[in-house]
């Protein structure tokens, strides 16, 4: 299945304990339909030291959120929006459904 959310997108969380928070997408898992958003859905994990030089303790890390619980923020109108597709100069790009601006990601420029 193809997802409308890509790595590097700016998104807002719609539901859950972090509802209303904004962040950048760090990774996308297409098979499980989940995304990891920077600073959102943070869990505390216990880390056990593997050897004498390693330090154990509590580690805070972001955990996955289902893609249906986040929405892309348009860089032009700065509002949460659905994305559509259009062909510009022979290349298929994502566009904002509200204002029609092209949505580019940091990952797409590489």
Q: Is residue 27 part of a domain?
A: yes
Q: Is residue 103 part of a domain?
A: no
Q: Mean of the pLDDT values across residues 71-95?
A: 89
Contacts of 10 (CB under 8 A, 6+ apart): 22, 23, 24, 25, 72, 73, 75
Tell me what pLDDT residue 101 has.
85
Domain count, the chain: 1
Q: Give the pLDDT band of residue 100 (cuts 50, 70, 90).
A: confident
Strand partners, 81: 72
Tell me what pLDDT residue 89 has.
86
pLDDT (tens digit, 9 = 90+) per residue, 29-67? 999 999 999 999 999 999 999 999 988 899 999 999 999
Residue numbers of the domain that contains 19: 10-49+58-81
Angstrom distance (rounded) from CA 25 to CA 34: 10
Q: Is residue 90 part of a domain?
A: no
Q: Is residue 43 part of a domain?
A: yes
Strand partners, 13: 70
**Residue 91 clears pLDDT 90, i.e. is over it:** no
Structural contact between residues 12 and 29, judged by C-beta atoms closer than 8 angstroms: no
Across the chain, mean pLDDT equals: 89
Tell me what pLDDT residue 31 has.
94
Tell me what pLDDT residue 105 has.
66
Q: Is residue 41 part of a domain?
A: yes
Tell me what pLDDT residue 103 has.
87
CATH number of the domain that residue 77 is part of: 2.30.30.30
């Amino acid at each position: 299945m193809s997802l409308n959310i890509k790595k590097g997108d700016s998104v807002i969380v719609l539901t859950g304990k972090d509802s209303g928070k904004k962040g950048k997408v760090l990774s996308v898992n297409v098979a499980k339909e989940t995304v990891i958003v920077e600073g959102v859905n943070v869990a505390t994990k216990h880390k056990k030291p593997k050897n004498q030089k390693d330090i154990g303790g509590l580690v805070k890390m972001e955990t996955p959120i289902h893609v249906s619980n986040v929405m892309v923020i348009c860089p032009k109108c700065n509002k949460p929006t659905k994305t559509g597709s259009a062909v510009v100069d022979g290349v298929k790009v994502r566009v904002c459904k509200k204002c029609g601006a092209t949505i580019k990601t940091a990952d797409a420029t590489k």
